[in-house]
Chains A and B, each alone.
Chain A
């Protein structure tokens, strides 16, 4: 349901996947610079929900990334409260985010600047109901009340950071 607005809000990031896996492996374990760390620190806070994924929400390039997009979509996370980064379009991001989060795989989800986890954790939290509570408590989605307002509040101004 949010898919069309989600799609339109995204920069057209998707390019062909770089085939320099070897290069990414060589840099995977170096220390990221303070500069890169500072950039990532602001990137994870750029939006209430930040998702580092392979591909874009409209065209995920990996089943795990697709699953995370679908779960966030299912919970009605509004496009203007979510920023996604395609790690396949940026080799430096791809290796540095792993070190930054101290997490070896992508996708990675941040809520209000805090690392939540990857696909398995999101699925687990979705099933247990923790994800809904987390998103509600962080003001990402409205709390469901008895006289339910069905949709998200008025959209905030859109921002696209890269």
Chain B
């Protein structure tokens, strides 16, 4: 059963084009990874002062955190897991997505860490 969570911590009320696009890609990822849970958080507001961000036109959508729990990550290194998510989001990087903080775990790893949030 897929339990998709879309958390938004940004002060802005509605998702911008980059976030919408990440959501769409997450649906692709859903087919690919069959994730138990996905959480997307827009952290861009924390980086508004960031020197490289000042003249970005899409200032509100540059930094995101994505947490994916999927058994498709089984027997893959962290780097391989991150590459899977990064490759799904290459268009977003080309369009100004700047930083993506990833947490990629399997269901068993989440259970073992006691950090269960699904």
Residues on A lying within 8 angstroms of B by beta carbon are: 17, 19, 21, 25, 28-29, 54, 61-64, 88, 102-105, 115-121, 124-125
Q: How large is the interface on B (under 10, 10 to 19, 20 to 34, 35 or more residues)?
A: 20 to 34
A101 to chain B, nearest CB (A): 10
Q: Are A19 and B55 in contact (CB under 8 A)?
A: yes
Closest-by-CB residue of A relative to B52 is A17
Contacts of A124 in B (CB 8 A): 78
Pick the contact of A28: B47, B50, B79, B94 (CB < 8 A). B94
A131 to chain B, nearest CB (A): 12
Stretch of B11-19, B21-29, B31-39, B96-104 on the interface side: B96-104
Pick the contact of A117: B54, B78, B89, B94 (CB < 8 A). B78
B window 61-100: CB within 8 A of A: 78-79, 82-83, 86, 89-90, 93-94, 96, 98-100
Q: Are B52 and A117 in contact (CB under 8 A)?
A: no
Contacts of B99 in A (CB 8 A): 64, 105
Closest-by-CB residue of B relative to A18 is B52
Q: Are B78 and A121 in contact (CB under 8 A)?
A: yes
Q: Are B100 and A105 in contact (CB under 8 A)?
A: yes
**Interface membership of B9, Cβ < 8 A:** no
Known: A17-B51, A104-B90. 8 other contacts (CB 8 A): A19-B54, A25-B94, A54-B52, A62-B50, A88-B51, A120-B82, A120-B103, A121-B79
**Interface membership of B56, Cβ < 8 A:** yes
Q: Are A102 and B83 in contact (CB under 8 A)?
A: yes
What separation, in Å, do the CA atoms of A27 and B55 have in the docked complex? 18
A33 to chain B, nearest CB (A): 20
B64 to chain A, nearest CB (A): 11
A156 to chain B, nearest CB (A): 29
Pick the contact of B93: A104, A117, A120 (CB < 8 A). A104
Closest-by-CB residue of A relative to B65 is A120
A124 to chain B, nearest CB (A): 6
What separation, in Å, do the CA atoms of A106 and B94 have in the docked complex? 14
Sorted from nearest, which 4 A-B pairs have the closest CB atoms?
A104-B93, A17-B51, A121-B78, A117-B79
